[in-house]
Amino acid sequence: MTLWTRITDALAALTAGESLSDVFAHLRTPPERSAGFAIAVIALGAKMAKADGQVTRDEVSAFREVFTIPPEEEKNAARVFNLARTDVAGFEEYAARVAAMFHNDDKALCNLMEGLFFIAMADGEYHPAENEYLTRVGEIFGMNDMHFRQLRSRFVPDADPDPYQVLGVEHDAPLADIRKVWRIEVRESHPDRMMARGVPQEAIKLAEKRLIAVNRAWEEINETRG
């Protein structure tokens, strides 16, 4: 059974009248957990794409950047997106159900937020409404302000990213400690680790973006300190 087949089954349950909480409860364990992750990114991403008043082709195309969608599954993927993008209403309940589904797993929810930031920047602009939306989702996920800014700095090029903020460390932290944090970030970005958290194999492209950001930050700090 493919990821998109599982997603279609979950949508069918919703259409049949099953509650959102019951559907997400069923998606808490592997392999259904990966379908839950995909539904969460697509649904919350689609609602966010509408938050700035319009859904652009770039934002729709962003889902192809996050997920590998085989031609035979394009209709199923489009159905999920079209159901979710009607308006912004209901995103807070979705976010709350997603947080409960992942049992407040910080790393899994962090990966999910990375997917949302990726989609937000697909059209080359980070709209204030998107920032407000993502800030609220982050709050529901239990992220503190520092963690949110850490993720934001990896994706939003409104200024030269602070490498310390990208890694989530203090400017006066010892270089050895920063190196430990960098190594942890690299390890947690390994596809096997991410899939164990529920990130579907079809969305492992997120690991590439994360690795580029953390490696660049470490290199900049190491060169400056060196």
Query: Token pair of 100, please?
Result: 């409960």
Q: Give the pLDDT score at 179.
A: 95
Q: Is the pLDDT of residue 58 over 60?
A: no
Interior/surface letters 13-40, b for 16+ CB within 10 angstroms, e for the rest: eeeeeeeeeebbebbeeeebbbbbbbbb
* Greater model confidence, 104 or 34: 34
Q: Give the pLDDT score at 199.
A: 77
- Of 27-41, 50-64, 172-186, the range with the lowest mean pLDDT is 50-64
Q: Give the pLDDT score at 83.
A: 65
Q: Is the pLDDT of residue 15 over 70?
A: no
Q: Give per-residue pLDDT as tens, 62-117.
A: 666 677 777 777 776 666 666 666 555 578 887 888 888 777 677 888 888 888 88
Burial class (CB in 10 A: 0-12, 13-18, 19+), 226: exposed
Q: Quickly list H helices, 85-174.
A: 91-101, 106-120, 128-140, 145-155, 163-167
pLDDT band at 21 (very low <50, low <70, confident <90, very high): low
* Greater model confidence, 169 or 102: 169
DSSP 8-state secondary structure symbol assigned to residue 159:
S
Separation of alpha carbons 224 and 125, rounded Å:
30
